[in-house]
Amino acid sequence: MSRVTEVFQPLQADDPAVVAGFRMAARLGAGGMGVVYLSHTQGGRPVAVKVVRPELADDPDFRRRFGREIKAARRVRGAYTAELIDGDADGTPPWLATLYVPGPSLTEAVARRGPLPVPALLCLMAGVAEALQAIHGAGIVHRDLKPSNVLLAADGPRVIDFGIALAADATAYTATGGTIGTPSFMAPEQATGDDVTAATDVFALAQTAAFAALGKPLYGEGSALNVLYRIVHSEPDLSLLPEPLRPLLARCLASDPAERPTPAEVVEWCRQRLEADADAGGAPAVWREINGPAVAVPDPVTEPVAAPVTAPEATLIAPQPLISYPQPPDGRPAMTPEERKAHRRRRALISAVGVAGSALLVTALTWKIMNTEGFGRLNAADSTASTADPTARASGSASGSSSGTDSTDSADDADDAAGTDDAAALGTGNGTSGGSRTSPTSPAKPVATPYPLFWVDAENSANLEDPQEQLTNGKGEIRFGCASAGCELKSDTAVFLQMAGAPGTGSLDTCRFMLSGAKSHTLLLAGAANGTEICVKDASGNIGLLVIQTKSTAMPKLAFLKGEMTVWRDAA
């Protein structure tokens, strides 16, 4: 496959031909929030147009948040950012357009040529740090800085997607989801649901530079829970990194955000060490080398291309007027916007049902196997090994649990029979450090109590003691409301955290770990959807896992949240 076909992919049958006057020339890629297309301005300048996914487009809370982020991103003007050209959160579909950056992403460059040399790493860090100065100056925290969001142009790096990071707001549609961000490039405070600030982006900058130097994530690979555990609880191993970069990266990776340098300090540190190479022409030459040969950008699309007709006796079809979405190939009349919206909702519902059914089948088969005698012996062996690697046991617990079902009890029973202790493996709770067989006097594990009906709205609240009891006039500790910023869960004492990953990843251990440092008493629901999992912990130490079944926020005065709740009492 050539570089051209890797970068510019042909349009698919369901891709729009034009969005807000931008004619689509090719696909550039797809992400958690939508599909990115190559297009051109009227003057012929290439732009990247991101079209929001239908699931998000149907959410009015997301549209409001997306609109605010577009407005904020318009203020970002920096030499190392991809400038926002225009956008419309109220469009059909919502979209935004940025200048197209001719060059590979950092992820692609490292995969193609391997780790970057020191001069290129210094250029990378200086450019990305300068981009963060511009982004933070506009009042934005990127929240998802990572190699795939750094493009390598001929004259330096470009940071992208800074205008939509907060709009996603832990949406279930992001590739890695959860608290906003990608686990391998999160900061400790981000992983535990604490306050996210500009210093969070500095931590991600160091992780991105380390990836470019090593060819792999600094904190290793594996399940999201394992990676987050290492980020929160362990010091990074900098011994494999180039020696000249270690002092700066060590400061950027400080666990305390207050101890990290500012982007301006990073820029100054890198430029001081680049001066000798820059005077000799070394750094620019190395930077041009990592980009590889330039790839020709396709020409602007001037006329719509008719879809091919595949009928046995096809005849030529007269050119149709240009519309936002291509005509169906079988000659049916194009759907109206209302029909398209209803079709998207039906498709999303069918997909959700299929995914849920598959997840239930896999979960049932998993516990069926794990309860056999052979796997009992295997779990017992794993519990002994957990002393050397506590994160391995945590990963097994997270991947084998299912939210809001009796399978959680089955998992606890299987672990008890094998003599394992999830709390000890995670470094929380009262388990013994060696993962040895539980003694008869050891405290029993919290029992999962399912509540199939959980409902909150503007008038009715709830408690973890009995989530199905509806309390009026805000008497419960878990309340729901829709203000100008969108609908949210809120409490005076309980803390909330939306889970990462696909539905079905939540469990007692994952909630207990992720809530260990959580301090937020509010949770915006702009990105939450059916199947989204939310961990809750009250002041009494009870932990709950809420799985959303229905979120109705289109009419704020009649808005409500319905789901099922699993509660583990005295589990914190």
CB atoms within 10 A of CB 136: 21
Nearest-angstrom CA–CA distance, 68 and 164: 9
67 SS3 class: helix
b/e per residue, 356-370, with b = 16+ CB within 10 A? eeebeeebeebbeeb
Rounded Cα–Cα distance for residues 487 and 327 (Å): 37
Q: Which among 14, 15, 61, 144 is annotated as catalytic?
A: 144
One DSSP character per residue, 290-314 reads: HH-S--PPPPPP-SPPPPPP-STT-
CA separation for the pair 289, 119 (Å, rounded): 12
Say which amino acid occupies 114.
G
> Residue 239 corresponds to which tokens in the numbers above?
């011994």
Task: Dihedral sign for Cα 248, 250, 253, 255, please.
Answer: negative
| Residues 219, 227 contacting (CB under 8 angstroms) | yes
Q: Under a CB-based contact definition with an 8 Å cutoff, are residues 426 and 512 in contact?
A: yes
Residue 421 is a catalytic residue: no
Q: Is 324 exposed, middle or buried (CB count within 10 Å of its CB: 0-12, 13-18, 19+)? A: middle
Rg from Cα positions in the chain: 25
Distance between CA atoms of residues 572 and 562, nearest Å:
25
Amino acid identity, residue 538?
A: D
**Nearest Cα residue to 402 out of 373, 365, 431:** 365
- Going 115 to 118 to 120 to 121, the CA torsion angle's sign is positive
Rounded Cα distance between 143 and 394, Å, is 26
Contact 19, 51 (CB under 8 A): yes
Find tokens 């309980």 and name the residue.
494
Longest alpha-carbon distance in the chain: 82
- Give 88's contacts (C-beta < 8 A, 6+ positions apart): 20, 70, 94, 95, 96
Could you tell me which residues come within 8 angstroms of residue 242 by beta carbon, excluding any fewer than 6 positions away?
118, 121, 213
- Cβ-proximal residues to 6 (8 Å cutoff; 6+ apart), any chain: none
448 near 433, Cβ under 8 Å?
A: no
Active site residues: 144
